[in-house]
């Protein structure tokens, strides 16, 4: 599953966040041919974490994307497409977009890929 975190957004109304969410989802779905296992918005999570300090929010926006896979071309296209999409909505902000490749050796687990009942250590 692709996880997209958009950090340091300025305070704004829910309506603008929903528009940003829709734009990001549209970009990812538009790249479904390059991104394995992407068919709709249920194949990704888009998060807008809040910051405890309001000073400077919106001046620089950081986008962190994980779970993409190891296709360099797809990662490079995704980071630029999402970065440009966010820059259009926040033209006065500096945007940094990072796509971290998936490394199965790092350890992952998903309820979608596991048979929970077959684990003996599960209560």
- At 96 the pLDDT is 94
pLDDT over threshold 70, residue 44: yes
- At 109 the pLDDT is 63
- At 22 the pLDDT is 97
SS3 of 15-30: the string is HHHHHHHHHHHHHHHH
Residue ranges of the domains in the chain? Answer: 2-50+67-105
- At 45 the pLDDT is 95
**Predicted TM-score of the model (pTM):** 0.82
Identify whether the C-beta of residue 97 lies closer than 8 Å to the C-beta of residue 5.
no
Identify whether the C-beta of residue 6 lies closer than 8 Å to the C-beta of residue 66.
no
CB neighbourhood size of 54 (10 A): 10
């Amino acid at each position: 599953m692709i996880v997209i975190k958009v950090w340091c957004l300025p305070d704004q109304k829910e309506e603008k966040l929903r528009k940003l969410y829709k734009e990001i989802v549209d970009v990812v779905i538009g790249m479904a041919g390059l991104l394995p296992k992407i068919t709709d918005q249920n194949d990704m999570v888009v998060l807008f974490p809040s910051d405890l300090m309001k000073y400077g929010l919106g001046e620089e926006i950081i986008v962190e994307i994980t779970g993409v896979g190891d296709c360099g071309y797809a990662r490079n296209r995704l980071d630029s497409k999402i970065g440009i999409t966010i820059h259009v909505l926040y033209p006065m902000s500096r945007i940094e977009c990072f796509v971290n490749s998936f490394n199965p050796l790092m350890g992952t687990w998903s309820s979608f890929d596991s048979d929970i009942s077959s684990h003996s250590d599960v209560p």
